[in-house]
Structure 1
Amino acid sequence: MTATGWARLLDCEDMAWFRDQPEAARGAAAALGRRIGLGEQRTSELVLAVAELAGNLAKHAVDGSLLLRVLRNEATAGVEVLAVDQGPGMADVPEALRDGMSTAGTLGIGLGAVQRLADSFHIHSRTGLGTVQVARFWPRPAHATVAGEPVVGGITRPIGGEQVCGDAWAARIDTGEPEPQPTPADASRRASLTTSSSWAALTDRAPANVTSTLGSSRRPGGEGRPSAVRGAVAGPDTGVLVMSCDGLGHGPMAAVAAQAAVRAFKTSTARTPEQAMEQVHRALRGTRGAAVAIARLEADGRLLFCGVGNITAAVVTSTGRRTLLSHPGIAGHQMHQLRTYEHRIPAHGILVMHSDGLSERWTHGDLTGFLPHPPALIAAALLRQAGTRRDDASAVIVKAAR
């Protein structure tokens, strides 16, 4: 992947989920378009598309949901709409996108018109499984910096009955500036992070994936065991750092912890996951704390990973899933000594990270048909496949197509 490709990142803010509420979704879309300065005409087009998508969900879908969110970069802001359902699916997607094909009970513009109105539109549907759709709307004329698809995309959903989510994710570009050399104080601070307390003892919840399955016969597609890297050093070129965070518990106080982690991660100049984890750990003191995983992916497929607590992470390809190793602990409270592991992501593979609001009972086969799609659509599909409503949930996908 080129440096230009790595530069395609967008800040994302999930605003509101809607289930069987087409009128509420239309009103929220109108208010959101006006608030971010989308423009009168473009806001009207957004509302029209939301009406079609929400109407289809209400009329035909099984357990359909629609998410509105704001996308931003340094130049502009836009709105992304995700529509997800669990059935009945479409037997012929090209036919459904054909002009004149509109489902009864909607405004009658059809999915083909939604595709034309949106700056980008992606859909995956399978009979019996359901449909996932992502439509993006930018002000007109669209700024050149929003061309192409971001290499990172994620999704969050609060536990049922809550308005805020205690899960979060974030990504940032590392441009390849030399990283600071460790000092004796750094070594002392790292030693102070080591404790005998475990995730299970502090939270009554067992840590996920404390044993790596790389190279195991239980997981197809293994490509050798990971190596723990002491004093891991970032590569000389541009890379992308990604964080997945699950604030302890759920609700507003968990959200406070998650957002503190996001702020620390986004403002950090750390080049490696381990350095970034130390900074997040310090920022979370005084909060509930969180499970955190941080990865750095470089253009040649090299992956550095550091995880603390109950975040699931895996490298997924069309042929297998390799689970990455995290260690017990709670960022912001007590952690074992940090370890960074080095992996490789094959071309066209993806990195998946998700909170324990998603079950681990998914396989690479559940995602194989989604791999050509943008990360946001893959994340939504995984949430549909494995998400529960008994906890906050989040998933983030990093693409490594080269």
Structure 2
Amino acid sequence: MASLPEGLLDAGVWFRVEAAGTAAAVRRAAERLATELGLPANRIADLSIVAAETAGNLVKHADEGMLLVRPVRVPDRAGVEIVALDRGPGMADIARSLGDGHSTAGTLGIGLGAIVRQASWSDLHSVPGRGTVMSIQVWADEAPPPAWAAGLTRPLTGETVTGDGFAIREADGRRQVLVCDGLGHGHLAHAATQEAVRVFDSTAAAPPAVVVEALHRAIGHTRGAALAVAELDDRAGLVRYAGLGNIAGIVVGADGTRRGMVSLPGIAGHQRRQIREYDYPLLPGAVVIMHTDGIVDRWNATDYPGLITHSPQVIAATVLRDAGTRRDDAGVLVARTP
């Protein structure tokens, strides 16, 4: 079996799902990734069903279907995640749609039910008239606890790599996330972001402003980046935030209210006047959303009933679908307290 194409073992691979033949390509990519990650044969077979059914559903029922195949990891093991998003008619009754025998396309209606049965974990949100977002994971055995943070990136149309990136870590009791946007796009922007992620992952735990300062000093040999670091402190009920450049940070309350967080002007690695850290209330049920300028700020949580209660993956994919631009790399991260 051939090795995976560059990028599939990190950011993953996006598919535009419009024709029936795409389902076979998605299935093959998922099987190859699972083999690379060492999943057993029985779970690769289950994943094959999940991938084919998910892509098939997009072809049959969706408009502008997109699908991402990527790895998911915890410290001791890895699995495969499929994120599917569309602008289709949506589902008014998700429970009924998940049941075998229900179909809106004259088929047997076994797709969603089969996906949920074969997956280790799944989450789905749908709004009639807006579309559906679904995240599905297949692990070798039982799924790990749901992630407290997750992100998605998508390259500018025509590019094979993205200059946007993110990282998530827990170190010395600190839950921290990074969002980074390498200047421009293409391989040089990608290199700047990858270096920022590497330094973030290897830097000792410290307050966000200290981490941003360390990143600024470390990536001076790259073309530079806009970046921000947030720390979620559930015991204090706070999110601590520090940023340089045009990374947007928002706290979205359980009721959909929004509060912006401040990133200061500058280019990490090249120029900055100051780095400051700000604290914001983080009430129960709230989420932190951070994104690059490839996401336009026209997204309103109140337009998506119940979305904020869903997984970070599904929230991030919804924002990317409805607010992401094709004229730039796009990246979004969502985090919540456990």
Common topology (TM > 0.5): yes
Point out the more displaced range, 270-279 or 240-249: 270-279
1:106, distance to aligned residue in structure 2 (A): 7.8
Which residue in 1 is equivalent to 2:158? 161
1:100, distance to aligned residue in structure 2 (A): 2.8
Which residue in 1 is equivalent to 2:60? 59
Alignment pair present for 1:272 and 2:273: no
| CA–CA separation in structure 2 for the residues paired with 1:109 and 1:24 | 21
Rg bigger for which structure? 1
Alignment pair present for 1:347 and 2:281: no
1:112, distance to aligned residue in structure 2 (A): 0.8
Q: 1:312 aligns with which of 248, 251, 269?
A: 248
Are the aligned partners of 1:153 and 1:379 in contact in 2 as well (CA < 8 Å)? Answer: yes
Write out aligned runs for 1:189-228 (5 A): none
| TM-score scaled by length of structure 2 | 0.92
Equivalent position amino acid for 2:53 in 1: E
Which residue in 1 is equivalent to 2:24? 23
1:284, distance to aligned residue in structure 2 (A): 1.1
Equivalent position amino acid for 1:132 in 2: V
Are the aligned partners of 1:239 and 1:299 in contact in 2 as well (CA < 8 Å)? Answer: no
Which residue in 1 is equivalent to 2:181? 246
| CA–CA separation in structure 2 for the residues paired with 1:51 and 1:103 | 18
Deviation track 1:155-176 (CA, whole Å, cap 9, x = no partner) reads 111111111111000011122x
Deviation track 1:163-219 (CA, whole Å, cap 9, x = no partner) reads 1111000011122xxxxxxxxxxxxxxxxxxxxxxxxxxxxxxxxxxxxxxxxxxxx
Partner SS state of residue 246, structure 1: strand
Which residue in 1 is equivalent to 2:4? none
Which residue in 1 is equivalent to 2:222? 287
| CA–CA separation in structure 2 for the residues paired with 1:13 and 1:296 | 23
1:319, distance to aligned residue in structure 2 (A): 4.1
| CA–CA separation in structure 1 for the residues paired with 2:303 and 2:178 | 23
Write out aligned runs for 1:386-401 (5 A): 386-400=323-337
| CA–CA separation in structure 1 for the residues paired with 2:52 and 2:14 | 14
Higher RCO (C-alpha 8 Å, min separation 6) = 1
Point out the more displaced range, 102-111 or 31-40: 102-111
1:288, distance to aligned residue in structure 2 (A): 1.1
Are the aligned partners of 2:156 and 2:328 in contact in 1 as well (CA < 8 Å)? Answer: yes
Deviation track 1:268-298 (CA, whole Å, cap 9, x = no partner) reads 1031111111111122111111000101111
| CA–CA separation in structure 1 for the residues paired with 2:108 and 2:327 | 34
Are the aligned partners of 1:352 and 1:397 in contact in 2 as well (CA < 8 Å)? Answer: yes
Are the aligned partners of 2:232 and 2:336 in contact in 1 as well (CA < 8 Å)? Answer: no
Which residue in 2 is equivalent to 1:325? 262
Equivalent position amino acid for 1:333 in 2: H
Q: 1:257 aligns with which of 174, 192, 199?
A: 192
Q: Name stretches of at least 5 consecutive residues in structure 2 with no aligned partner.
A: 1-8
Partner SS state of residue 371, structure 1: helix
1:105, distance to aligned residue in structure 2 (A): 8.8
Partner SS state of residue 19, structure 1: strand
Are the aligned partners of 1:13 and 1:69 in contact in 2 as well (CA < 8 Å)? Answer: yes
| CA–CA separation in structure 1 for the residues paired with 2:169 and 2:103 | 40
| CA RMSD, Structure 1 to Structure 2 (Å) | 1.7
Residues 108, 39 of structure 1: alpha-carbon distance in 2 compared, 3 angstrom cutoff:
farther
Deviation track 1:222-252 (CA, whole Å, cap 9, x = no partner) reads xxxxxxxxxxxxxxxx230110000111111
| CA–CA separation in structure 1 for the residues paired with 2:305 and 2:72 | 26
Q: Name stretches of at least 5 consecutive residues in structure 1 with no aligned partner.
A: 1-11, 176-237
- The size of the alignment, in residue pairs, is 324
Which residue in 2 is equivalent to 1:373? 310
Equivalent position amino acid for 2:25 in 1: A
| CA–CA separation in structure 2 for the residues paired with 1:385 and 1:83 | 13
Partner SS state of residue 222, structure 2: coil
Partner SS state of residue 269, structure 1: coil
Write out aligned runs for 1:44-55 (5 A): 44-55=45-56
Q: 2:301 aligns with which of 359, 364, 369?
A: 364
Equivalent position amino acid for 1:299 in 2: D
| CA–CA separation in structure 2 for the residues paired with 1:60 and 1:376 | 22
| TM-score scaled by length of structure 1 | 0.78
Deviation track 1:294-329 (CA, whole Å, cap 9, x = no partner) reads 011112222111011010101001141000111110
1:103, distance to aligned residue in structure 2 (A): 6.2
Are the aligned partners of 1:241 and 1:295 in contact in 2 as well (CA < 8 Å)? Answer: yes
